[in-house]
Amino acid sequence: MRPFIVAGNWKMNKTLEEGLTLVREVLARFERTPPNTTVVFAVPCPLLQAISEVLRERQGFYLAAQNCHHEEQGAYTGEVSAAMLVSVGAQYVILGHSERRQYFRETHEQLARKVTVALRHNLTPIFCCGEPLAVRERNHHLPYVARQLRASLFHLSETDLRRVVIAYEPVWAIGTGKTASSAQAQEMHAAIRQLVAKRYSSETAQAIPILYGGSCNAQNASQLFQQPDVDGGLIGGASLRADEFSAIICAARST
């Protein structure tokens, strides 16, 4: 059975005190996570260590960074390496978020290297893919996402690919309040699984978790999560409030 994953992507929000309060409020609502459900907090780098301490010994709750550099170390002022993230307690790292691709010009090649370096350090990449609105309107969304996966994930061995989480996030749905319909999400998730089956094997395609992201909230989560190929969500805005994020975690239970 694939794990169900609810990951909160805080982006560039929350100071240390605000972040600690939010995590403590979410943890207070759960003795443990719902069965087979993993909860991930993807927090800004300066908050990682302190939040890691709060999450310690809380089964089912994990910590993620939102990016890492593709080199091991060196003269890259302002950047953060995979080894550094591990050293402060991160277990996951979001890679290839559309905001990184768009505002920081991250390329397919850089992302392929980031995925490799993350896995080398035993970080689980949450690899984001998804098409902009113009591509969806031309009905080219399936080949567009296929290209993102081929260019940045399909260099991995089958064993390594099984250590990756994929997040499908249509760019037009991120932060816009416009969620993909359950049918649109399911179509893409099934297509991604088919691509993985073709490149690797159907066992690996069945094993890999595929999350949906883009204006997912407490109202629409359970409908999205009921789709057979949707294995959870990558939640932006709705992860910034304890009540809303907790409701989304509970929506995982019904699947």
| β-bridge mates for residue 124, sequence order | 92
Q: Where are the alpha helices (DSSP H) in 156-181?
A: 158-161
Regarding 236 and contact with ligand PGA (CB under 6 A), the answer is yes
Regarding 174 and contact with ligand PGA (CB under 6 A), the answer is yes
Instruction: Respond yes or no: is residue 97 known to be catalytic.
Output: yes
List the catalytic residue out of 97, 99, 141, 189: 97
Paired tokens of 118 = 């993350």
In the chain the beta strands, taken as DSSP E runs, fall at: 4-9, 37-42, 61-65, 92-95, 124-129, 165-168, 210-213, 232-235
Instruction: Respond yes or no: is residue 69 known to be catalytic.
Output: no
Q: Which is nearer to ligand PGA, 230 or 235 (CB)?
A: 235
Among 213, 224, 229, 248, binds ligand PGA (CB under 6 A): 213
Cβ(30)–Cβ(7) under 8 Å? Answer: no
Secondary structure class of 156 (helix, strand, coil): coil
Q: Which of 237, 208, 235, 240 is nearest to 224 (CA)?
A: 235
Regarding 237 and contact with ligand PGA (CB under 6 A), the answer is yes
Choices 67-75, 84-92, 168-176, 193-201; region in contact with ligand PGA by CB under 6 A: 168-176
Q: Which is nearer to ligand PGA, 68 or 174 (CB)?
A: 174
Choices 102-110, 148-156, 192-200, 209-217; region in contact with ligand PGA by CB under 6 A: 209-217
Q: CB of residue 5 vs ligand PGA: minimum separation in angstroms?
A: 13
DSSP for residue 179: P
Active site residues: 97, 169
Binding site for ligand PGA (CB under 6 A): 9, 169, 174-175, 213-216, 234-238
